[in-house]
Chains A and B, each alone.
Chain A
Amino acid sequence: MTALRDAPAPLLEVTSLDVVLGHGWRAHRVLSGVDLAIWPGQIVGLVGETGSGKTTLARAIVGLVKPRAGHIAVAGTDVSRLGRRALRAHRRAGHVQLVFQDPLRSLDPDLTVAGIVAEGLVIRGGRPAAEIRSRVVAALSQVGLDEALLSRTPGQISGGQRQRVSIARALAVVPRLLICDEPVSALDASNRNYVLRLLDELRTSLGLPIVIISHDLSSLAGIADRVAVMYRGEIVEDGPASQVFTAPAHPYTQRLIASAPSLSKPRLSRRDRKDQ
């Protein structure tokens, strides 16, 4: 941990970020004063309830949402200051890749696995077909999938495989940062652990920093180095995972941890039962 923090510069640095969505009377401040820094090789968990701003933060980092104030620096480039053209170029360069919750919805059902994983490379252009194919195969093997899947469509593979295909799609363009938005909440426990283990391996083998967004603390417990807790558009707690989980400082984090279903804690029916 300390070694990672001492690394020269963070790959991602978000400083006092404000995001307002909607216009006029509908305008709604979704993020206020968010600070977040991520160093290479780190896995950072971003937790919080629905509507707390986790996904908006991810979208702002990728450049899909324009911030009202504050800075987002990815590998030294201030994304929040880029003009339209430069921003599009930044997005297409694929430095930051997103992986979504439900691969069945985020993957084009008509494309084959080969087409899906190649898409980012094809859009960027300037590569012969043979090179694209070899990079697609390499990306698939990074996520533990066989070439035999190349000609299948998302409907023809299992849920766990689908999520690995969406990770392969992200890896194909060699990102500097991977942001996974609820990558495992649609999966059963065994597949969930498989995907988490895969992310852990990618961090180690590629030194790839990964942000994992989740509303469920327990899925982060296995792999996150650091956990940032969001509540109503602010980061209310940010620290080493072991510390946040064992000695949560913010009342919301404490409530989050107390609510997590457990196989070992006293059961709800035996705890003090009061409707909130």
Chain B
Amino acid sequence: MPPDPVLTIDDLRVTVHHGAAEAVRGVSLSVAPGEIVGLVGESGSGKTLTCRAALGVVPAGCDISGGSVSFLGEDLGCLSGKEWERLHGSGIGAVFQDPASYLNPVLTVGSQLTEALRVKKRLSRRAARERAIELMGAVGLREPARVYHQIPAELSGGMLQRVMIAIAISGDPRLLIADEATSALDVTIQAEILTLLLRLRDERGLAVLFVSHDLAVIRELCDSVAVFYAGEIVESGPVDEIIARPRHPYTQGLLRVASAGDLGRRALEVIPGQPPAVGAPIAGCRFADRCPVAADACRAGEIASSEIRAGHTVRCIRAHDAELVAS
């Protein structure tokens, strides 16, 4: 019996431009305690909006038009501002791509972490300070007592991201949402941050929703992955299974163009065409126009997701075809 999920997203729909177009079209996924779930897809595919909805911070002009998001069984759709505040303090932490833009440039990083602790954990000034230094050590900052007194401009990108992670986990959340949290970092630093996330998962049973456009990064970190295309999840399942036996032509394309990590000279393949505009009215499969194996039936009507193996679902009517499996 698997443990109850920390986060459950069910048939989530998000509209943009004040309802003019649907950018997230019926996304369902769940994250179990201690599980790291990856979301991968091109920019504009709806990964970030899905995360934002789970955090209750959809951008202006965007609305959750359908479906539900629940955290530890509690529906987040009807939370008041105050209840969200409580959740952000202690339930869900978040880390984004550019740490420098989320920190106050004129305050020391230590004082910002202390402030978070005083608000989230209601600690005294002194206790918060001690806990802050402890946390900074826990996220792998060397000499935390010295770094405490530095301002963001004095720290490197990797150190700043560690500070952001320290702030995100300061309220002992059950879930961490990391949106492109390592994309702007050097590969050596990226590897360190990924290792840190794995350690936090092991030590604290932290569940992580990890967004990236890079399948190789997803593979390094995640247990399972959901592949986004044009606002839908087109394939999801255990990460090793998806990478070894991708069934959706888009996932297969992503794997062909991915930075394979073998650094030999190789053909630079591309997925021809461009994704459809957000909310474009498309009958049937949204990938059909770029798909090498699209058939008439693909454009006939809505394509449902089907489970082809335990935990591995694919939104493609040809997922069972032999030729697709071979390609």
- A interface, CB within 8 angstroms of B: 49-51, 158-160, 188-194, 196-197, 200, 215-219, 221-223, 241-242, 245-246, 255-265, 267-269, 273-276
Contacts and interface: CB of A to CB of B under 8 A. Distances in A.
Given A268-B198, A275-B140, A245 B188 contact: no
Nearest to A245: B263
B187 A216 contact: yes
13 contacts: A49-B189, A189-B215, A194-B270, A221-B262, A242-B265, A259-B188, A261-B259, A263-B219, A263-B260, A264-B261, A264-B262, A273-B198, A276-B192
Given A189-B254, A259-B188, A273-B199, A265 B264 contact: no
Interface string B87-108: 0000000000000000000000
A151 to B, nearest CB: 19
A269 B265 contact: no
Contacts of B258: 189, 263
A196 B199 CA distance: 36
Interface residues of B, number: 45
Given A189-B214, A255-B188, A259-B190, A221 B264 contact: yes
Contact of A268 (B191, B214, B262): B191
B270 A197 contact: yes
A259 B187 contact: yes
Given A190-B270, A276-B140, A267 B220 contact: yes
Contact of A261 (B140, B261, B274): B261
B196 interface: yes
A261 B263 contact: no
B194 interface: yes
Interface of B: 42-43, 140, 156-157, 186-192, 194-196, 198-199, 213-217, 219-221, 243, 253-255, 257-271, 274
A258 to B, nearest CB: 8
A223 B42 CA distance: 23
A262 B213 contact: no
B217 A188 contact: no
Query: Which of A49, A158, A258, A263 has its CB near the most chain B CB atoms (within 10 A)?
Result: A263
A259 B191 contact: yes
A219 B194 contact: no
Given A189-B259, A261-B194, 16 more contacts: A49-B186, A215-B186, A216-B187, A217-B187, A218-B260, A222-B266, A223-B265, A258-B191, A260-B259, A260-B261, A260-B263, A261-B214, A262-B262, A263-B243, A268-B220, A275-B199
